[in-house]
Structures are given as structure tokens and as C-alpha cells.
Amino acid sequence: MGFAILDSSSLDKEKWGKLVTTSESAAFYHTFEWCSLWEKSYNFCHSLFFVEEKDSEYSLGLPVVKFKKKGLESFFSMPMGTYGGVLSQGSAESEIKEFLLQALDSIKSFKCLKFQIVDFNGQLSFLGRDGFKPHQTFTHIVELEKINLGKYLTRRGYRQLERSNVTARRIETAAEVQGCYGLYLKTCHRHLSAPKYSERFYQNLFWAGKDTGWLLWRIAGSKEKIIGYQINFNFKEQLHLWDAASDPENVKLRANDYLMGQSLIWCQQHRTCSYNLGGSPKGAEGLMRFKEHWGGTEKNYYIYEKIFPLGKLVDLFRGK
């Protein structure tokens, strides 16, 4: 088949799953489950899979979500800064570069605004020489073998909720998802930021992962009220923290600390090597201190972005 652009219906899920499993650069956000959530949740999103097929297998792959609003298109691998980029089975840099150029040529049109690709593993540095603007960002990662977990679990922040009547457990119902989303909106309001995700996205995430091994969604609270939640993705030997929030009215109970401790216990029990705590918004010093308090160390990576001519005009019009 050679190079091809596939959508969710034409993609061979088994071949894609094998590529995700065997590629060293894969993250949970490369999986079909994550890619398909976008088009299920937003009518302006469409999942695409750029693949190179050799010997009846996908040898290269790039997951992309296309946003189409008012006839204008933007492409993300992956959206909202979640990890994307090229999957390969030992391909040379020249092969990856040729594959990406084919992908880029295939989406070019007069209505295209931009193409953004997240390079978590540092394999796409050549894009900085090919018209892509690099944006450095970072996450925090806990290496389980390098921390004394027992010491962290004796700290007051963790013990505060442990001593109360509040418990932590896996999420079970759609009504509880609604409660978590309410906390998410409160967090956005507190930080004066617009919500990035809809309740439909959270509901679809819950139903997609409810009976699987990849979704670890815990809530803290009582039967009457949720005071905190944490959403993690289990992938290979790493746990990824995607989202977490707590009720500002019950901040003294330290739900975030308790749920963090519970996740690290889970990692230890399941022999998970590392826990990726996710990115932090600009100026979120408190959040960064929280992650470092729990053993997280900073890891830098790049997001590469190519703005097409129409995108430059739109940015100019918007005063960017």
C-alpha cells in the first residue's frame, strides 16, 4: 500500500495497535482509543492516521486530529499538547523526515491554518530547520525506583484525608463523571481560563475506558459529594496523569495529595517504572511545587508548529 491517509473506519486497528505496542516513542495518546475520542466528542474534529505500509504491516504512523471550523482547517498530533509524533519500528531519521514531508504535502490547501506536532522523545529536531517553529515546554516525571514512597506517604498532606471519613475509589457512574466535570469547571474559573474540554468528552472517556485496564480514574469523597478526582492512563510501564481537580471548599482535606499517593501506590504494586505528571500552565508555580513535592523531576520537550500563509493572515488579523 505504501503511504496512505486513513480515517477511523478504514484504519486496520490490529496493525495500528501493533505499531503502537512496538514503537519505542509511543505514548497512550497515540492509541486508537484516544484518537477516536475527539471525533466522538466534537463535530468539528476528525481523526486521521498517516501510515506507511510494508510487508502487510504499518512501519510508520502518525496520528492526527483535524479541527475544521468555519471551513478552516488545523492539524494536531496531538491536540491540547498531548504527546503525538511519528511511530516507527527502527526507521532512520531520513525515512521519518520523508514520511513527515509526505504527510505535510497531503494536507496543504488554501484553507489550512497550521500543523502542530508534539515531539516528546526528541526525534524530530530536524523540523526546526524545515520551517517549523519550536516551542519548548515541560512535564514532571516521577521515577519510582528513585523515590522512597513510604516517606512520602507519612507526610501531613497525604495523612490529612486518610484520617478523615472520606474515601477514594474508582469512578463508577455517569453521574459521578458529571460531578468531576463540575470540579473541572470550578478549577478553570479559579484560574481565569476557558474550559478546554466538554462534558461530553469526559463522558465518552469514561465509557471508553470503564471496563479496560488503561483508564485509572479515581474520585475522593463521600456518597453525597465528590471533593476530588484524578484521571490517569496506564500505558506500557508508565502511568500518565491527564487531569485532576479538587473542591476549593474542602481544600484543607488535601484530596490532591491523597489521590497522588494512591496513584504512586498503584504504580508500585503494578511495577510501573514511572509516573508522568503532565504539563503545567505558565505561571502555575504552586502546581509545579506540588509535583516536585511528590518526587517529580522536570523533563523538557518541544512542540513544533508550522503556520501556513492563511494562518499567518488570520494571526495578523487577530493581532498575534
Q: Which domain holds residue 165?
A: 148-294
101 and 81, same structural domain?
yes
265 and 312, same structural domain?
no
pLDDT band for position 166 (cuts 50, 70, 90): confident
192 within a domain of the structure (yes/no)? yes
Q: Cell numbers at residue 103, please?
A: 504527510
225 and 308, same structural domain?
no
69 within a domain of the structure (yes/no)? yes
**12 φ, ψ (degrees, to nearest 5):** -85, 105
CA-based end-to-end distance of the chain = 42
Q: What is the pLDDT of residues 282-310, one digit of tens each?
A: 777 888 999 999 999 999 999 999 999 99
202 and 183, same structural domain?
yes
| Non-local CB neighbours of 303 within 8 Å, separated by 6+ positions | 81, 116, 117, 118, 119, 134, 135, 137
201 within a domain of the structure (yes/no)? yes
Rounded Cα distance, 22 and 178, in Å: 36
167 and 114, same structural domain?
no
What average pLDDT does this structure show over 21-48? 96
206 within a domain of the structure (yes/no)? yes
Q: What is the structure's pLDDT at 95?
A: 93
| Non-local CB neighbours of 249 within 8 Å, separated by 6+ positions | none
142 within a domain of the structure (yes/no)? no
175 and 121, same structural domain?
no
pLDDT band for position 157 (cuts 50, 70, 90): confident
Provide the H-helix boundaries in the chain. Answer: 13-22, 32-41, 93-107, 149-152, 156-162, 174-190, 199-209, 255-269, 285-293, 309-317
Q: Which amino acid is at 92?
A: A
Q: Which of 87, 43, 89, 98 is nearest to 65 (CA)?
A: 43
pTM above 0.85, yes or no: yes
Q: Which of 54, 42, 39 is nearest to 7 (CA)?
A: 39
Q: What is the pLDDT of residues 183-203, one digit of tens each?
A: 999 999 988 899 999 999 999
Angle at 153 between CA 82 and CA 147, to 5 degrees: 60
Q: What is the pLDDT of residues 116-148, one digit of tens each?
A: 999 999 889 999 888 899 999 999 999 999 999
Rounded Cα distance, 292 and 290, in Å: 5
Q: How many of the other CB atoms lie within 10 Å of CB of 204? A: 18
Q: What is the structure's pLDDT at 222?
A: 76
pLDDT band for position 15 (cuts 50, 70, 90): very high
290 and 152, same structural domain?
yes
User: What CATH number corresponds to the domain at position 222?
Assistant: 3.40.630.30
212 and 184, same structural domain?
yes
Domain count along the chain: 2
126 within a domain of the structure (yes/no)? yes
143 within a domain of the structure (yes/no)? no
206 and 256, same structural domain?
yes
Q: Which of 102, 75, 45 is nearest to 311 (CA)?
A: 75
157 and 128, same structural domain?
no
Count how many Cα atoms sit within 13 Å of the Cα of residue 280 in the half-sphere of its side chain. Answer: 22
174 within a domain of the structure (yes/no)? yes
pLDDT band for position 261 (cuts 50, 70, 90): very high
Q: Which of 245, 220, 214, 246 is nearest to 232 (CA)?
A: 214
Q: Which of 70, 72, 52 is nearest to 61 (CA)?
A: 52
Task: Tell me the percentage of the chain whose pLDDT exceeds 90.
Answer: 76
Q: Cell numbers at residue 253, please?
A: 482535606
Q: Considering the chain, what is the average pLDDT of its residues?
A: 93
128 and 69, same structural domain?
yes
Q: Which amino acid is at 240?
A: H
Rounded Cα distance, 131 and 128, in Å: 6
| 3-state SS, residue 40 | helix
208 and 266, same structural domain?
yes
| 3-state SS, residue 155 | coil
Whether the pLDDT of residue 165 is over 80: the answer is no
Q: What is the structure's pLDDT at 320?
A: 67
Q: What is the pLDDT of residues 194-248, one digit of tens each?
A: 999 999 999 999 999 999 999 999 999 877 789 999 999 999 999 999 999 999 8
